[in-house]
Amino acid sequence: MFASNDTPLGGCPWYLKILSPCFLSSLWRIKLRTDRRRIPFLWHSNERCNMAAAASTDRDRFSALDGLRGLAALTVVVSHSANVGYLPSFLGNGLGQMGVVLFFGLSGFLMAHLHFRSKPNVIAIRRYAIHRASRVLPLFYAIVATAAILLVVMGSGFYGIDSLEIALLHIILVHGTGVLWTVPVECQFYAIFVIFWAAKYNDRLWTAVAIACVVQAFLCAIYYVHDPKVAPDTLVSWFQFFVAGMLLGSFYSRIGRYLDQRDARTALAPIAWFLVLAVIVVPPEVRRMMSLPIFPNFVDPVTAGYPIILLFFTIYGIGPFANLSIPILRWYGRISYSLYLLHVLVIDAIRKLVEWGFLPHPLGFPFILAVSTAVAACSFHFLERPMQTRIRSALEGHGSERQRQIAS
């Protein structure tokens, strides 16, 4: 029926044969063999797919880090609410500083992961400084300025800023009071991080920095032995958590490959679930009630070590910690800085309103959390983010214009 070659196109004209799928596919194979260099994307498609999959995995894990940041902020709110009687006392007295350890570890990890990939230069360091300052300082300075104005006008400030000298120490980022103490410590780390960044590409400097870290840890131990009441609100006392985060950031890819090659995430999943269950005995006050030995938070192996282990498990999406990327925790992660700095003001205001009879007493923690969340969200959307955008566009735009002028 189909002529001599028993195919549908056997007796068709030559121009119809040319349009056949078999003929076109043969031409395409010849084209590929003769034109490999001109279309390399076809030969590296698998690699590109693997890279895209890895990038997608990184995004998922970093979403979990946003959730972890939100969890850290909520931990601080819970702790401070417990300290004033709105929650059981075992949730206070040190639990909040475990959230602070998470913040510091996250900062160290992200700084190393984002910046250690490229060598530092003037432009990169300038951009780094602008981004860090615009992220941290606007809300902090707004709080300090408001406290200083109230101190001058009314004779009393808040957040422990009870003199202009104390306010000045906040402004120059030497010392902070109340929850504000973490901001100078964080900014001091940002300044020192530039040295680590440069040392990453200089073996001698890297060795010197490593020795300095060992000396810092030794001095911290000596200070504690000499005087257990050594002021903990300094970078000297908390620097080890930034270093732990930087180590995780530096070896992020290597550790990830090691875990993948040995399918270690599955093996570590039971440990991750154990860490979740262990949270009931981790708070410092719970361990005090159990008559377990307790050390200052910045050297206590549980208070300091547990959050860093959580950070590790979250970074690599092990067990239940991969689920920290749920939207509500990620959203709290976005507003975490405002929530951390402003929730104490909300707690104090609610306590005053209850004392003066404007609010009923049994409102409790849910009301504190709701108001703190609303205030933090407003701060983020109307102060933090707009100021961050304006500062970056103004300074980076000015820098770009200046670079163009120099180039011309």
pLDDT for 110 beyond 60: yes
Q: What is the mean pLDDT of residues 341-353?
A: 94
Looking at residue 283, its amino acid is P
Min mean pLDDT across 100-109, 173-182, 219-228, 274-283 is at: 219-228
> Do 3 and 37 lie in a common domain?
yes
**252 CB contacts (<8 Å, ≥6 apart)?**
109, 113, 315
The verdict on 8 and 103 lying in the same domain is no
Separation CA 158–CA 389 (nearest Å): 28
Residues 29 and 54 in one domain: no
Q: Are residues 179 and 278 in the same domain?
A: yes
Element (H, E) at 122: helix 122-154
| Mean pLDDT calculated for residue range 354-359 | 85
- pLDDT surpassing 90 at residue 194: yes
pLDDT digits (tens, 9 = 90+) for 217-247: 777 666 666 665 555 688 888 998 999 999 9
First to last CA, the chain: 78
On whether both 140 and 63 belong to a single domain, the answer is yes
296 and 397, same structural domain? yes
pLDDT band at 213 (very low <50, low <70, confident <90, very high): confident
Please report where in the chains the tokens 């920290």 appear, as a residue. Answer: 324
Q: Are residues 293 and 350 in the same domain?
A: yes
| Domain, as residue range, for 255 | 44-407
Task: Provide the pLDDT for residue 101.
Answer: 96
Per the structure, the count of domains in the chain is: 2
**What's the predicted TM-score (pTM) here?**
0.82
Is residue 23 domain-shared with residue 153, that is, in the same domain? no
Same domain, 312 and 331: yes
Structure confidence at residue 1 (pLDDT): 42
Determine contact, residues 255/265, Cβ cutoff 8 Å. no
Does residue 4 register a pLDDT over 80?
A: no
Residue 231 has a pLDDT of: 57
129-144: burial string, b at 16+ Cβ within 10 Å, e else: ebbbbbbbbbbbeebb
Q: Are residues 320 and 201 in the same domain?
A: yes
Cβ-based burial of 328 (10 A; exposed 0-12, middle 13-18, buried ≥19) = exposed
* Whole-number pLDDT of residue 157: 79
Of the residues 43, 58, 77, the one at which a domain ends: 43
In this prediction, residue 56 carries a pLDDT of 52
Whether 282 and 145 share a structural domain: yes
pLDDT for 144 beyond 50 = yes
pLDDT digits 0-9 by tens, 248-287: 999 999 999 999 887 888 899 999 999 999 999 999 999 9
Overall average pLDDT of the 330-354 stretch: 95
CA 3 to chain centre: 73
- Domain co-membership, 202 together with 303: yes
Average pLDDT along the chain = 83
Model pLDDT, residue 164: 94
Strands (E), 267-403: none
Rounded percentage of the chain residues whose pLDDT exceeds 70:
79
Q: What is the pLDDT of residues 12-54, one digit of tens each?
A: 444 444 444 444 444 444 444 444 444 444 334 444 444 444 4
